[in-house]
Amino acid sequence: MIQRFLDPAVLAGISSLDLVAKTVVDGFISGLHESPDFGFSQEFAEYRQYVPGDDLRHVDWNVYARTDRTYLKRFKGETNTLLTILLDTSKSMKYGSGKMEKLEYAKFLAASLVYLAHLQRDATGIVVFDEDVRNFVPPSSRQGQMMRLMHTIDAAVPGESSRTDFTKPFSHVVDFLRKRSMVVAISDFWEDPETVIKAVGPIRARGSELVLFHVLDPQEIVPKIKGSALYEDLETGARLQVSSSYAQREYKDKMEAHLEGIKTKATSAGIDYFLCDTSKPLDASLRKYLAIRTGRL
Amino acid sequence: MGLFSPWFLGGLFAVGLPVWLHLLKRSKEDPQLFPSLMFFEHRETSSVMHRRIDYLLLFLLRAAMLILLALLFAHPFIRQSSAAQRGDRLTVVAVDRSFSMRTKEGSSTRLDLAKEEAQKVLAGVPTGTKAQVVALSGILEAMTQQISDPNELRAAIAAVKEGDSRADFGVLARYLRTLREQADIPLEVHLISDLQKSAQPAGFADLRLDDGTKLVLHPIGKAAPNWSVESVNAPARLYDPKTVRINATIAGFNAPAATRNVSLILNGKTVGSKQVMVDANGRGSVEFVGLEATYGYNKCEIKIDSTDSLAADDRYVFSVERTDPKKVLFIDDGRHPKSQKFFAAALTSDPDSEFSVDVLRPEVAANANYSNYTLAVLSEPSNMPAPLTAALQRYVEQGGGLMVAVGVDSVALSKVPVMDVPIQGTKLATRSGERFWSIGDFDQNHQVLKNLDHMNGVKFYQSVTLGTDKANVLARLSDGSPLVLERRVGEGFVLAYAASFDERQNDLPYKPIYVPFVQDAVKYLGGGGVNQPVNVQVDSAVELRAGVQNQGVSAEVLDPDGNRVLSLEESASAPSAMLTKEGFYDVKTAAGRRLLVATHADRRESDLTVMEPETQELWSSTGGSVDTGKNPAKAGVNADSTPWSLAPYILVLLLLVALAESVIANRYLRSSIHTEETIKA
């Protein structure tokens, strides 16, 4: 099963990159992730003048002896990151015009992220959702966690009447996010951008890092229709007669506006947004993502 | 180019069906799944506008199929030049050789004159034109094929001989209609006949000729006074030569009142002569009493002296068989003496009865000489010695009659002797909750039962149940049990009566109808097998063998001239023979019976009245006119051109297109399935 998700060719490319979090949260183990907080660590960060209320244990008494001033010695805190993956399994994710469905692509992406996090000993969890939370594995770095996550990812299938609803799963995540962490949402985001950002906003507000992977089939971005075709909505079952001219012009414009809307609103809300084309190799998407994050750090 | 049924071209609108299938239907039948339609809008009109015809070849084939189908129903045709325009025609010379053509016209008969006229007609036929000679009588005899050899045609006319049959113009018209249909060529028909009115069929429609048939009538002779012996009423068998009565009717056609001498001739010797007054265009009858015929068949004849032109109908032949009073063999074991007493009393109650009864025990009857008996009666048999069964079987198959009274004692047997129907048991009316049964189904028209007044009032207390799978049931009791059954075995008949002859099972012996029941049954069975008439009209048939029996056994028929009628093969297999001449036929059936059958011509031939001129003209005009080829431009429309139907060619084309459509559609279907499987994989 691991072999299925973690294709060696994919993992070979990903292992050479560092997964560097933008925001360091409550980390304890020094490692690759840089904590956003100062704390106990080996690497010095700065001195700060004592103000009443500071913990006296952090006062650098040597400096006080030399200068008779009280300064607090601060270190860069290196810690393990809490990574939570939100995987959308709504019926629309079952679509695929080529050999790979969107859900399959999303599973590979999630598994790759889990594996990378495991290599860095990050506590990882997952939430499988559609219109409700279907499965939830809390973040943990215990032994066997990776296998549990892999089983969970593998078992994720779209339900019979499942439709996407971001409100419930994201509020669920907000409930258990007591620490600042990193949340990765993988979905096709067939929803109004305003609604999406509104649903994920509370996570960002708590100081957690949020990354949106927008998984789309190339046929969804620009449908290629010969003549006319009868389309049936995967989630609602509604049918509509569609002509090629409409798909080539008006639909394309609407889709571009939709993608731009999500991207703009996400960026303005401090959310990372990445569009994943299922026709592109998975490792390329990850590599691009990690390169971007590294560069930002 | 034309159309027989142009309204069917409305079917061309059906071409819209494949258009609909290829433009609309297909897209609605194959919806494509899509994650979300939130960016699509409902624009039906613009969508339809952009639809294109898919599978263009398949569409064209389907449209072609419908067009061809509509054309096929419209039945298109092309006019092509007819045989008349090409100058082709077939001349048919029909010579009447019926009985009336024996009439003398001067020193020649009408047939001689007809043949001369036919030769003249043939002389007028252009060289190279095909012609056919046919002889008309009761049947139509083609004397030649459709040939253009004048010598052969003339020889065929010369070979036409006098006949004794009655002419029927309906037969000729039917033949000409068939010929016109098959030959598809104009006919010019010359009928050379005395055009008797009596030769017309019952309805004028039977004389109708198809278009393209030109009828030219050549009347021979004219109406002339004629007297004939119209009918003779004489018994086929006589037992007492002194009491036999022979009635003859003499008729005059177009003749004044006259007195005629009538002679009765027996075996070539005149045995009686009388005079009869025949009214003008009327009839007179004469009766002869007594006929000292010899034993066996006798050739008899009624003859009148007449000076009319048709002498052949002045005599009327008939056959009479003289036999002794017939003996009835009553086979009885003596256990119920009343049966014999009742039966014999009923049979001999008439002083003039032609039957006498001989009683024999079963064990003695096996060795009896059955040729002395006209009928055998088995009274309530309870034990049938094998030799007796075999003797009775042989006797019946050769034309003898057998009557079996199946009484209560006969239940010991499994089957009714000779008749071979099973005896299933006995029934008592009282055990069925009834005091007695009455008669149920009853064949009132059968010769045995016609004088029994439906057996009203007869009470049946007990019956013997018989199987009915092989026999005809003539009467049943009210509970459905068969009472009287009949079966033909070989040339004879077996009659089974499901009761005894005495009063133990019913009260029939006490009823007056018991006498006619016994007498009619004996007369019916004692007639000597199948009652073949021995005095018949010409063109009647005589039966030589019953069904498939006696196949391979030779039968023989000698005509009045002493010639064999049947070939060697026919004598071994023919079921019957046609009697076509007037006179006496010696017939030996396959079963060995000998008959002397007298045949006389149909007396309607004696009426020499000619068809009315109006009728002749009307008949000639039914076939339309036929161009002789000299002036094709004057030919009628119907004869000008023949519609040449294109339907067979369209049908073949339709089949080919349907085949191509199946192949193409199958190919598209396979590729579609393959694509779906690939996507699923």
Shortest distance between the Cα of A261 and any Cα of chain B, in A, equals: 14
CATH number, residue B175: 3.40.50.410
Contact state of B54 with A227 under an 8 Å Cβ cutoff: yes
Tens digits of residue pLDDT in B209-242: 888 888 999 999 888 889 999 999 988 878 788 8
Shortest distance between the Cα of B37 and any Cα of chain A, in A, equals: 6
CA nearest B95: which of B122, B70, B73? B122
CA nearest B544: which of B578, B510, B568? B578
* Same domain, yes or no: B106 and B167: yes
Shortest distance between the Cα of A125 and any Cα of chain B, in A, equals: 27
Contact state of A190 with B35 under an 8 Å Cβ cutoff: yes
Contact state of B50 with A228 under an 8 Å Cβ cutoff: yes
Q: What is the pLDDT of residue A223?
A: 83
Q: Is residue B641 part of a domain?
A: no
| pLDDT top residue among A19 and B153 | B153
Both structure tokens of B543: 């039966």
Q: Is residue B604 part of a domain?
A: no
Q: How far apart are CA B312 and CA B319, in angstroms?
A: 18
Residue B601 has pLDDT above 50, yes or no: yes
Q: Are A5 and A112 in contact (CB under 8 A)?
A: yes
Q: What is the pLDDT of residue B402?
A: 93
Shortest distance between the Cα of A243 and any Cα of chain B, in A, equals: 5
Shortest distance between the Cα of A107 and any Cα of chain B, in A, equals: 18
Name the residue type at position A254: K
Residues of chain A found within 8 Å of residue B59, distances taken between Cβ atoms: none
**In this structure, what DSSP letter does residue B587 have?**
E
Q: Of B32, B44, B46, which has the smallest distance from its Cβ to A232's Cβ?
A: B32
Q: Are A32 and A8 in contact (CB under 8 A)?
A: no
Indicate which of A224, A240, A259 best probes the interface with B, i.e. most B CBs within 10 Å of its own CB.
A240
**Per-residue pLDDT band at A292 (split at 50, 70, 90):** low
- Per residue in B477-496, is it b (16+ CB within 10 Å) or e — as a string? beeebbbbbbbbbbbbbbbb
Residue B175, Cβ neighbours under 10 Å: how many? Answer: 18
> What is each CA distance from B431 to B457, B461, B581, in whole angstroms?
21, 10, 63
Least confident of A130-139, B96-105, B340-349, B632-641: B632-641
Q: Is residue B470 part of a domain?
A: yes
Name the residue type at position B277: M
Q: Is residue B639 part of a domain?
A: no
Residues of chain A found within 8 Å of residue B43, distances taken between Cβ atoms: 241, 243, 246
Sequence-ordered list of residues with C-beta below 8 angstroms from that of B494, at least 6 positions apart, any chain? B396, B401, B402, B403, B404, B416, B418, B419, B486, B487, B488
Contact state of A246 with B44 under an 8 Å Cβ cutoff: no
Residue reference for tokens 């990151």: A81
Angle at B632 between CA B631 and CA B637, to 5 degrees: 130
Tens digits of residue pLDDT in A222-280: 888 776 777 888 877 888 777 777 877 888 889 999 999 988 988 888 888 888 888 87
Tens digits of residue pLDDT in B335-389: 899 999 999 999 888 765 678 889 999 988 988 998 888 889 999 998 888 999 9
Q: What is the pLDDT of residue A32?
A: 36
Contact state of A233 with B30 under an 8 Å Cβ cutoff: no
Least confident of A44-58, A207-221, B230-244: A44-58
Residues of chain B found within 8 Å of residue A242, distances taken between Cβ atoms: 40, 47
Least confident of B90-94, B182-186, B650-654: B182-186
- Helices B337-347 and B514-525, axial angle in degrees (round to 10): 80
Q: How far apart are CA A193 and CA A156, in angstroms?
A: 25
| pLDDT top residue among B178 and B549 | B178
- Total domain count, chain B: 5
Name the residue type at position B183: A
Residues of chain A found within 8 Å of residue B48, distances taken between Cβ atoms: 228, 241
Residue B273, H or E segment: strand B269-278
Q: What is the pLDDT of residue B247?
A: 93
CA nearest B260: which of B287, B246, B278? B278
Contact state of B50 with A255 under an 8 Å Cβ cutoff: no
Q: Is residue B493 part of a domain?
A: yes
Q: Does B27 touch chain A (CB under 8 A)?
A: yes
* Same domain, yes or no: B201 and B240: no
Q: Are strands B423-428 and B462-466 parallel, antiparallel or unpaired?
A: antiparallel
Q: Of A95, A102, A241, which has the smallest distance from its Cβ to B33's Cβ?
A: A95
Shortest distance between the Cα of B676 and any Cα of chain A, in A, equals: 12
Q: What is the pLDDT of residue B639?
A: 46
Q: Is residue B640 part of a domain?
A: no
Residue in chain A nearest B35 by alpha carbon: A92
Side-chain half-sphere of B280: how many Cα atoms within 13 Å? 1
Average pLDDT of chain B, as a whole number: 84
Indicate which of A228, A239, A249, A253 best probes the interface with B, i.e. most B CBs within 10 Å of its own CB.
A228
Q: Is residue B301 part of a domain?
A: yes
Residue where a domain stops, chosen among B286, B301, B323: B323
Q: How far apart are CA A98 and CA A219, in angstroms?
A: 9
Q: Is A59 exposed, middle or buried (0-12, 13-18, 19+ CB in 10 A)?
A: middle
Residues of chain A found within 8 Å of residue B32, distances taken between Cβ atoms: 229-232
Contact state of B47 with A241 under an 8 Å Cβ cutoff: yes
* Same domain, yes or no: B152 and B232: no
Q: Does B469 touch chain A (CB under 8 A)?
A: no
| Phi and psi angles of residue B428, each rounded to the nearest 5 degrees, phi first | -110, 135
Residue in chain B nearest A91 by alpha carbon: B35
Residue B42, Cβ neighbours under 10 Å: how many? Answer: 12
* Same domain, yes or no: B500 and B551: no
Indicate which of B36, B49, B52 best probes the interface with A, i.e. most A CBs within 10 Å of its own CB.
B36
Average pLDDT of chain A, as a whole number: 74
Indicate which of A220, A243, A256 best probes the interface with B, i.e. most B CBs within 10 Å of its own CB.
A243
**Average pLDDT value for residue range B395-412:** 91
Residue A230, H or E segment: strand A228-233
CA dihedral B675, B676, B677, B681 (to 10 degrees): 100
Q: Are strands B258-266 and B269-278 parallel, antiparallel or unpaired?
A: antiparallel
Quote the CATH superfamily of domain A2-19+81-296.
Answer: von Willebrand factor, type A domain (3.40.50.410)
Q: Does B680 touch chain A (CB under 8 A)?
A: no
Residue where a domain stops, chosen among B505, B525, B545: B525
Q: How far apart are CA A129 and CA A88, in angstroms?
A: 5
* Same domain, yes or no: B89 and B216: yes
Instruction: Name the residue range of residue B106's domain.
Output: 84-223+609-632
Residue in chain A nearest B32 by alpha carbon: A231
Residue B399, Cβ neighbours under 10 Å: how many? Answer: 20
Interface of A to B at Cβ within 8 Å reads 92-93, 95, 102, 188, 190, 217, 220, 223, 227-236, 238-246, 250-251, 254-255, 258
Residues of chain B found within 8 Å of residue A239, distances taken between Cβ atoms: 31
B550: left (phi over 0), alpha (psi -120 to 50) or beta: left
**Per-residue pLDDT band at A63 (split at 50, 70, 90):** confident
Residue A46 has pLDDT above 80, yes or no: no
Q: Is residue B530 part of a domain?
A: no
Shortest distance between the Cα of B42 and any Cα of chain A, in A, equals: 6
Q: Is B147 exposed, middle or buried (0-12, 13-18, 19+ CB in 10 A)?
A: middle
Q: What is the pLDDT of residue B42?
A: 62
Q: What is the pLDDT of residue A288?
A: 59
Contact state of B35 with A188 under an 8 Å Cβ cutoff: yes
Residue A297, Cβ neighbours under 10 Å: how many? Answer: 12
Residue boundaries of the structural domains of chain A: 2-19+81-296, 34-78
CA nearest A33: which of A134, A129, A120, A99? A120
CA A168 distance to own-chain centroid? 17
Q: Are strands B472-477 and B482-489 parallel, antiparallel or unpaired?
A: antiparallel
Q: Does B412 touch chain A (CB under 8 A)?
A: no
Interface confidence, given as ipTM, is 0.70
Coil/strand/helix, residue A112: helix
